[in-house]
């Protein structure tokens, strides 16, 4: 009788150990988020593509004239950055190119920057990028500019 009790005890102990090791049944466990969902959440906000084709989010500086560097945005402070658009205040440093660009002088103009028209980025179609930038000059502005100017952004 002692042998039968010992066998039963060992069997029950083995079953309890296996049940504990197995944990919760698979149907009751919550599945981890799929990798694609995590990636989509991470890139849900549009980016600003810089001159080197790098995605930027809320950059402090941004080069507008990639070829010669004669216009750049600096000291950008972003108050908005979402799926529909972005808004910042900062300074637009513009070369007057007088008498020619190499001899010109840079002038600082306070500016409000707006980004909009998000579209899939050709380099990474799963990432949206802003495709238009609008500059609003509340006071002084470069000679050739109106109070508001808009440009398409590169893709």
pLDDT along the chain (155 residues), means of 10: 45 43 45 42 81 97 95 99 98 97 97 98 96 98 95 92
* pLDDT the model gives residue 155: 85
| Contact predicate 59/47, CB 8 Å | no
Strand order in the sheet with 62-63: 62-63, 71-81, 86-95, 106-120, 128-136, 148-152
* pLDDT the model gives residue 44: 79
- Which residues 6+ apart lie within 8 Å of 25 measured at CB? none
Distance CA 107, CA 113 (A): 17
Domains of the chain, by residue range, sit at: 47-152
* pLDDT the model gives residue 43: 56
């Amino acid at each position: 009788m002692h042998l039968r009790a010992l066998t039963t005890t060992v069997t029950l102990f083995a079953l309890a150990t296996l049940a504990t090791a197995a944990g919760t049944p698979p149907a009751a466990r919550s599945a981890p988020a799929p990798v694609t969902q995590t990636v989509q959440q991470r890139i849900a906000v549009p980016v600003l593509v810089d001159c080197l084709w790098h995605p930027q989010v809320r950059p402090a500086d941004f080069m507008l004239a990639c070829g010669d560097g004669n216009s750049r945005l600096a000291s950008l402070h972003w108050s908005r950055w979402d799926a529909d658009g972005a808004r910042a205040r900062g300074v637009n440093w513009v070369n007057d190119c007088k008498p020619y660009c190499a001899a010109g002088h840079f002038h600082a103009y306070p500016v409000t920057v707006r980004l909009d028209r998000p579209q899939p980025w050709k380099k990474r179609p799963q990432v949206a990028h802003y495709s238009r930038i609008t500059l609003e000059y509340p006071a002084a502005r470069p000679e050739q500019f109106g109070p508001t100017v808009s440009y398409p952004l590169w893709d």
